[in-house]
Structure 1
Amino acid sequence: MKKPFSPPREVHVQVTHSMPPQKIEIFKAMEDWAENNLLVHLKPVEKCWQPQDFLPDPASDGFYDQVKELRERAREIPDDYFVVLVGDMITEEALPTYQTMLNTLDGVRDETGASPTSWAIWTRAWTAEENRHGDLLNKYLYLSGRVDMKQIEKTIQYLIGSGMDPRTENNPYLGFIYTSFQERATFISHGNTARLAREHGDLKLAQICGTIASDEKRHETAYTKIVEKLFEIDPDGTVLAFADMMRKKISMPAHLMYDGRDDNLFDHFSAVAQRLGVYTARDYADILEHLVGRWKVENLTVYQQKGRKLKTTSVDCLQESED
C-alpha cells in the first residue's frame, strides 16, 4: 500500500555528493565568470512580462465579456490538447522542487537563502522568472472552464510532495547537464503547444505558450553556457558527467506525477504528448544530438584513459537513442 506523501513509484538508489570535494574550487573560481556570462540572461523585473498581460483584467468593466470570449475560444480546442496543457502546467507549478534541486548542488547552492554569490542570485532569479509560467497557465485553465481544477490542484500538491529523482547526486556537473537538457525540452514542448493552439484558432493561447517557450529558450542558453565553460576548464570531468547522465537517461521533472488514483499518470500524459507531437522520443534524441554538437563532444581532446573511453560512450548513447 502506498504510504502518505511517498512517490507513486520507487525512486532509484540515492547517491549523494559524487563530485570530488576539491572540484568545488572550480565553481568558486567561476564566480566572476557567472556574474558576467550567466546573470546577463536574466531580465529586469520591470522589463518582464507578467501573467496579467495575457489574461482578462478583473478590474475592467469588460472583464466578464473577456472571460466569455476566452471560454468560447477554449471550447473549440480538443480534450487531448488540454491533457497536455494541464500536464505542462502541473510541471511548471512544481517549481519549488526545481529550486530545491538546484540548491542541492555542491559549490553553487544558496547557502543562506539570500546569498550574494552569482550562483545563488541566478537560482533565485531564474526561479522568479519561471514562477510566472505556472501562474499564467493555471489562471488560463481556471478561466477556460474546460478542466477539473480541484483535481489539478491535488495533483500539484502530490507532485511537490513527492519531489523528483533527477539522479544528479549533489553534483553540479550532472545538475547543469540535466537543466540544459530540460530547458530545451520545455522550450520544445511549449513551442508545440503554441503551434497546436494556433492550428485550433486560439491565437491568444498560442501567444501564451509561445511566450513561455521564449523564456525557456533563454534559460537553456544560460545553462548550456555553464556546461560549455566546464568542458573548457575540465574536459575530462565534464565528459564523464555527460556520459553518466546519458547512460542513466534524463528523467522528466514531473515523472512522479500522481493524482491520488493513477500511479501511471505521467506515462499516460506522456503518451498523449507523444501522440500529438508535443514532446516525443524523437525530440529526446534530437536534444541529445543538439547538445553533443553544441558542446563539441565529438571533437574533445581528453587525456585520461577513462575519460577517453567515456567520451566515446557519450556519442554511443546518442546513437542508441536514435535506434
Structure 2
Amino acid sequence: MPDLTQVQLLTELEPAAEAELNRHLSLAREWHPHDYVPWDEGRNFAAMGGDDWDPEQSRLNPVAKAAMTLNLLTEDNLPSYHREITEYFSPDGAWGTWVGRWTAEENRHAIVMRDYLVVTRGVDPVALENDRMVNMTKGAHSDDLSGLLRGVAYVAVQELGTRVSHRNTGKACNDPIADKMLQRIAADENLHMIFYRNICAAALDLAPDQAMEAITSVVTNFDMPGIGMPNFRKMSLLMAKHGIYDARQHLDDVLWPIMRKWKIFERTDFTGRGEAARDELAAFLEKSEVDAKRFEEQRDRFLAREAARKELASA
C-alpha cells in the first residue's frame, strides 16, 4: 500500500484536528500578562532620567538567569515557528485556526516573560535585546522536519520538554511571582502538547508505518528549538547541571510518557517498515538510558567538587 500524500494526511486528519481544537478552546483559561508582572518594582532607565541596569539589581541566580533568557529567546522566534508549521499544516479550516491560536498563545508567553525581566531588572535588558535581534534575524530552521508527521511528532515532544523547563525554571527563580507566572505558561504548554500528541496518535491509527518512521526520525535526531541562539550551549549546559532540563528529564519526563500514551511498544498494526523503525527507536531509548546515567554520575561529581570549593572558600 503506497504512503499517504501530505494532502491525504491533512484531509484524513482534519476531523481529529477540529476535535482537538475544540477541546483546546474549551479548556484554555483566559489570562493576561499584565496580571503576572510586579509593576510597582519598575523604574526608569538612564534614557528617561533613571539608572541603567546593574548586575546587583537582579535577584535571580545565574541558573535562573540562563533559563529565563533561553526560554524567552525560544518564544521570541515565533515568526519562524509560525512559518514552518504553516508549511506542513493547511492555512484553512481547523488547521489554520489552530496555527493562529497557538501562535497567539505562545506570543503571550514571550510578552509576560520579557515584562517580568525588564520590570524586576532580572537580566541585562540591552544584552537581552541584542540577543533577540541576533536570534530572530537568524530564525529557526528545521530542514529535517519536513512533512506533517515529522512536524507534529516534533512539536509534541518539544512542547512537553518546554513545559518541564518552564516549571523547573520557576522553582529555580526563588521568587513566588516568577514561579506563578511560569506555572501559568507551563499549563498552556501542556495543552499545546496534548493537541499535537493526540494528532500524532490519530496519525498512528491512520498510517502506522509512516507515523512510526516519523516518530523515530524525530526522537533520534531531536534538538530543542533554541539550538541556534546566542550562547545556547553554555546556557543549556548550566541548566542541565542544575536540574532545569537534562538528559534524565528528557528521557523520563518527556519521551517515555509520550511513548506510553501512543502505546508504541504495545501496537500490533505495523508492517516490516514500522517494526524496523520501532526497533531503531527501542535501541535509541536503551542508549539514552545509559547516557542519562553517565550524565548523572558526571553531574554528581561536578556538584560535589563545586560544593567542596565553596566550603573551602568560606572556611
Query: TM-score, structure 2 length as denominator?
Result: 0.81
Q: CA 1:170 to 1:76, structure 2 compared with 1: closer, same or farther past 3 Å?
A: closer
1:245 corresponds to 2:218: yes
Distance between the aligned counterparts of 1:208 and 1:92, measured in 2?
15
User: Counterparts of 2:185 and 2:95 in 1: how far apart (Å)?
Assistant: 23
Letter in 1 for 2:42: V
Verify: 1:195 aligned to 2:171, yes or no: yes
1:314 CA drift (Å): 1.6
Instruction: Report the CA distance shift for 1:169/1:271 in structure 2 as closer, same or farther (over 3 A).
Output: closer
Given residue 92 of structure 1, which amino acid in structure 2 is its aligned partner?
E
Q: Which amino acid aligns with 2:16?
A: W
Distance 1:302 1:309 in 2: 13
Go from structure 1 to structure 2 and tell me whether the alpha carbon gap of 1:126 and 1:257 turns closer, same or farther (over 3 Å shift): same
Alpha-carbon distance in 2 for matches of 1:78, 1:303: 49
Distance 1:267 1:307 in 2: 34
Q: Give distance in 2, aligned partners of 1:37 and 1:276.
A: 35
Alignment equivalent of 2:260, drawn from 289, 293, 300: 293
Residue 186 (str. 1) matches residue 162 (str. 2): yes
* Alpha-carbon distance in structure 2 between the residues aligned to 1:42 and 1:319: 38
From the superposition, tell whether residues 294 and 44 of structure 1 become closer, same or farther in structure 2 (CA, over 3 Å).
closer
Q: CA separation of 1:317/1:167 partners in 2, compared to 1, >3 Å: closer, same or farther?
A: farther
| Alignment match, 2:65 | 82
**Whole-Å separation in 2 of the counterparts to 1:241 and 1:43:** 30
Q: What residue number does 1:67 align with?
A: 42
Q: Any unmatched runs of 5+ in structure 2? A: 44-53, 291-315
Q: Does the Cα contact within 8 Å between 2:38 and 2:116 map onto a contact in 1?
A: no
User: Displacement, 1:191?
Assistant: 0.6
AA at the equivalent of 1:282 = R
Q: Shift of residue 275 of structure 1? A: 1.7
Q: In the alignment, residue 180 of structure 2 is paired with which amino acid?
A: Q
2:217 and 2:101 mapped to 1: Cα distance?
29
Task: Answer with 175-184 or 94-103: which moved more.
Answer: 94-103
TM-score for both structures, normalised by structure 1:
0.79
Q: Do the aligned partners of 2:59 and 2:122 also contact (CA within 8 Å) in 1? A: no
CA contact (8 A) 2:164 2:186 kept: yes
Q: Compared with structure 1, are the counterparts of its residues 312 and 88 closer, same or farther at alpha carbon in structure 2 (3 Å cutoff)?
A: same
Report the CA distance between 1:167 and its aligned residue: 3.9
Any unmatched runs of 5+ in structure 1? 1-18, 58-62, 259-264
Give the letter for the 1:149 counterpart. Answer: P
* Secondary structure, aligned partner of 2:63: helix
Shift of 1:21: 6.5
Identity score, percent: 25
| Structure 1 position 44, deviation (Å) | 8.8
Once the 2 structures are TM-superposed, how far is the Cα of residue 290 of structure 1 from its aligned partner?
Answer: 1.6
Greater helix percent: which structure?
A: 2
The equivalent of 1:109 in structure 2 is 90
* Residue 159 (str. 1) matches residue 125 (str. 2): no
8 Å CA contact 1:54–1:204 kept in 2: the answer is: yes
Is 1:221 the equivalent of 2:194? yes
> Are residues 235 and 151 of structure 1, via their aligned partners in 2, closer, same or farther at CA, if it must alter by over 3 Å?
same
Rounded Cα–Cα distance in structure 2 between residues aligned with 1:205 and 1:27: 39
1:292 and 1:315 in contact (8 A); partners too: no
Q: What do the CA deviations read for 1:92-128 (whole angstroms, capped 9, x no partner)?
A: 11111111110121xx232xxxx3x101100000111
Cα separation, 2, equivalents of 1:94 and 1:144: 23
User: Contact 2:13–2:203 (CA<8 Å) still a contact in 1?
Assistant: no
